[in-house]
Amino acid sequence: MLTYPLQPHLVQHAIATPGGAATFQERLKHTKYDRVCAQQGLHLVPVLADTFGAFGAAGLELLKELARRWGKRIDVLPGTAIPLALGRINVAIMRGVARLLLCNAQH
């Protein structure tokens, strides 16, 4: 999920720490969905990023672990695999934001 960190209710969180707005939104997801997930025997890990490319803390840890595992499968050290994977995700986010902006500009 993407969030815009300059929304009035998120600015203070975004200013406090990189990824602060996304981390705040992760907490809201936990408040809303943790109980339902637990009833199903599931563990929720919300993955949020802001439109500037910063990830929430929990989502970032999950993405790093997935990148480590991916790197291990293809014989790439974590120091290379993690930045590569996160960079590709950030590029995809930025492309999506650019598409939205272009669509809005054309209408």
Which of 17-31, 72-86, 90-104 comes out lowest in average pLDDT? 90-104
Neighbours of 21 (CB within 10 A): 29
What is this structure's pTM? 0.85
What confidence tens digit (pLDDT) does each residue in 6-56 have? 999 999 999 999 999 999 999 999 999 999 999 999 999 999 999 999 999
Q: What is the pLDDT of residue 106?
A: 79
What confidence tens digit (pLDDT) does each residue in 42-58 have? 999 999 999 999 999 99
Query: For residue 98, what is the enclosing H or E element?
Result: helix 78-106
What tokens were used for 79? 């120091």
- The secondary structure of 25-83 as a DSSP string is HHHHHHHHHHHHHHHTT-------EETTSPBPHHHHHHHHHHHHHHHHHTT--HHHHHH
